[in-house]
Structure 1
Amino acid sequence: MRLPHKLVAATSFAAILAAVALPVPASALDDTQKREIGAFIKEYLIENPEIMLDVQDALQQKQASARAQVAQKAVAENQDTIFSSKFDLSLGNPNGDVTIVEFFDYNCGYCKHALADMDTILAKDKNVRFVLKEFPILGPESLAAHKVSDAFRKIAPEKYGEFHRALLGTEGRANEESAIAVATSLGVSEADIRKTMEENPNDEAVQEAYQLANSLGISGTPSYVMGNEAIFGAVGADSIEEKITNMRSCGKTSC
């Protein structure tokens, strides 16, 4: 079989596929026919490599859509655990009309930048509730820092916002030592921290966060949940503020 001459003038990949469409399955083609079709498609792609960018964009959009659908279902099924877990504390207005949940790790560089986004939002909008969900995924030092943080929350919940900002805003790696240093600077003794860590390990809290993140498709920090949407990555204050406006307008992050 020879390819029709009109294929040479094809101007899009869709035109190629339409032109080579055969009334028989591919399995019915002989080796020569398959080589001719394959060689032509290869030549066309080499001459028009930008098509592969379009294919990549389409794949990414398809994957993002599938990920969003999985997350949306998980949000609907885990409302209490996401927005009202007994392990989490919130900043801002405890009765705010919009709640933002942030999954974070004290050693996440993007989380450090996102700290300013949270503070910008809370300073401008007095009707937002910001839930901080500790999600230590960056190694043993992160887990150790979060254990100290959990003990601090139990002892001095009213100072948790100060602790959170101080530890996340510190240069260098967060670990048990640096977390205890922040705790003692805020008036909580190391002895009390260690006693609380021993008596009340935060294993259950961490397991809950891991299981929830797995359900939502969250594998990195920071990640957020607002309304019915999981938001992946440090999207910035402007994007979050736009979603807040939408929540108040139509009850969803996208109207």
Structure 2
Amino acid sequence: MRMNKLALAMMLLAGASGVSTAMAAEPAAADPAVNTVIQPEAAASAVSQPDQQPASSEAPAVTETREPSQQPDDSVATTSSNPASVEQPSVATAPEASAAPASQEAATSAPVQAQPESNQPSPAANPPAEAAPVAEKSEPQPAVTDRDATQKTAQTPADEALFTPEQEARIGELAKDYLLKHPELLIEVDQKLQKIQYDEQMKAMTTAAIQHQDELLNDKTVPAIGPEDAKVAVIGFFDYQCSVCARQAPIIQSLMKNNSQVRFIFKEWPIFGYRWKPSFQAAETGLRIWQQKGGDAYMKYHNALFASGHVEGALTQKDVTKAASAAGAGKLKSSDMLGTLSRTDILAKNTGFQGTPAMIVMPLSGATAETVTVFPGGAMEEMLQAAINKALGSAGN
């Protein structure tokens, strides 16, 4: 009878211990640290019972702490009621073995993001269902850099129209209406365009004059008045039928008087010869006088023809003969001047001149764009003198 009571007490004790262990297992599943604390206490309570044998009857209760989260509550009571069903080593002799599985169970029941090295409590075992989508939304997105924006802009078609056809038509109407109300703008635009074209033309002719300076300065078949060692030359292209050239002749005479150190070169260019034959006759006579009678006779002939006032088709062969006689060159040898006139024509066109008069002021050596001045037409005496001074100052340095 005593044995039966003792066995009954042990069974009751084992059942109570199993229930307490199951109750402790529920929070332990959520917190491995709590589970680890409970196991030694359970082992100590099992050892502290005087009437219990150090058998494995208490071991199932401690070992089964890994299973409550996987089995229904009634499986705990059934297992704990049969202490002899499984033989396990004593909790007192192997506490570490029982703690390791418990820790493994806690790691299994904890969320994936839990870190076992941390001493902080693990997060909830069962997070809300919407947590995953929120986590996905909170993932950092790649930042848009300036380089990405530049590449995106570069991919835009370059020929994409800025305005629709309707917008372009409307813009055209507005511009037309504005110009009709302000026609003076057209004059301003035209003047600006002419200045741009003129500047480009002057630059091109200056460059051409530098390129052809040897032909401009050193042709011995054309009249050249002034010292041989002159530093600056004034080169003039003219036709005796040209009215502007006739008005320019007195200006040249004044410049020659005031600039004895400058060399003046006269390029006979009879551009009206195709229309009026005396232009050719006057040019050929002038070249013959230069070659046969020299510079003084040539200048008398040259000034006498322009002084007659017979220009724009009014010049005659009689005027040519009279001027030659006044220069002391009544009898001249017949010589062909066509080669010289042809070279002058080509040179004028290569320089960019399109008519007479045309003049160039430049140093006889070392000409540059800063020291050369081109006049594609008539020029006042002050303008020509300024060009001479500029070339002289540069040549003097």
TM-score by length of 2: 0.53
Q: How far apart, CA to CA, are the structure 2 residues paired with 1:105 and 1:77?
A: 24
1:89 to 213, 220, 223: 223
Residue 287 of structure 2 is matched in structure 1 by 150
The 5 A counterparts of 1:190-229 are: 192-193=331-332, 195-196=333-334, 200-227=335-362, 228-229=372-373
Q: How far apart, CA to CA, are the structure 1 residues paired with 2:336 and 2:293?
A: 16
1:188 equivalent to 2:323? Answer: no
Residue 389 of structure 2 is matched in structure 1 by 245
Q: How far apart, CA to CA, are the structure 1 residues paired with 2:394 and 2:359?
A: 19
With over 3 angstroms needed to count, the CA separation of the structure-2 counterparts of 1:94 and 1:108, relative to structure 1, is farther
The 8 Å contact of residues 144 and 175 in structure 1, kept in 2 or not, is answered as no
Residue 319 of structure 2 is matched in structure 1 by 178
Q: Give identity over the alignment, percent.
A: 22
1:25 equivalent to 2:166? Answer: no
TM-score by length of 1: 0.80
Q: How far apart, CA to CA, are the structure 1 residues paired with 2:171 and 2:384?
A: 49
3-state SS, counterpart of residue 101 of structure 1: strand
| Residue-pair matches, total | 222
* Residue type at the aligned position of 1:79: Q
**Cα distance, 1:155 vs. partner?**
2.0
Give the root-mean-square deviation of aligned CA atoms. Answer: 2.1
The 8 Å contact of residues 353 and 376 in structure 2, kept in 1 or not, is answered as yes
Q: How far apart, CA to CA, are the structure 1 residues paired with 2:172 and 2:228?
A: 62
Residue 259 of structure 2 is matched in structure 1 by 125
With over 3 angstroms needed to count, the CA separation of the structure-2 counterparts of 1:176 and 1:65, relative to structure 1, is same
**Which structure has more strand as a fraction of its residues?**
1
3-state SS, counterpart of residue 354 of structure 2: coil
3-state SS, counterpart of residue 132 of structure 1: strand
* Residue type at the aligned position of 1:241: Q
* Residue type at the aligned position of 2:281: A
Report the more deviating stretch, 40-49 or 67-76.
Answer: 67-76
Q: How far apart, CA to CA, are the structure 1 residues paired with 2:348 and 2:190?
A: 27
The 8 Å contact of residues 104 and 222 in structure 1, kept in 2 or not, is answered as yes
Q: Deviations over 1:33-84 (max 9, x none)?
A: 3321111000111122222122112211121122122212211221111111
* Residue type at the aligned position of 2:309: E
1:67 to 195, 201, 209: 201
Residue 179 of structure 2 is matched in structure 1 by 45
* Residue type at the aligned position of 2:237: F
3-state SS, counterpart of residue 237 of structure 2: strand
1:164 equivalent to 2:299? Answer: no
Q: How far apart, CA to CA, are the structure 1 residues paired with 2:329 and 2:304?
A: 14
**Which structure has more helix as a fraction of its residues?**
1
The 8 Å contact of residues 148 and 176 in structure 1, kept in 2 or not, is answered as no
Bigger relative contact order (CA 8 A; separation at least 6): 1
Q: Deviations over 1:109-147 (max 9, x none)?
A: 111111111111122222111111111112322112112
**Cα distance, 1:219 vs. partner?**
1.2
Gaps of 5+ in 2: 1-158, 363-371
With over 3 angstroms needed to count, the CA separation of the structure-2 counterparts of 1:179 and 1:94, relative to structure 1, is farther
Select the structure of larger CA radius of gyration: 2
Q: How far apart, CA to CA, are the structure 2 residues paired with 1:160 and 1:247?
A: 26
**Cα distance, 1:225 vs. partner?**
1.0
The 8 Å contact of residues 71 and 229 in structure 1, kept in 2 or not, is answered as no
With over 3 angstroms needed to count, the CA separation of the structure-2 counterparts of 1:246 and 1:52, relative to structure 1, is same
3-state SS, counterpart of residue 25 of structure 1: coil
Q: How far apart, CA to CA, are the structure 2 residues paired with 1:120 and 1:229?
A: 19
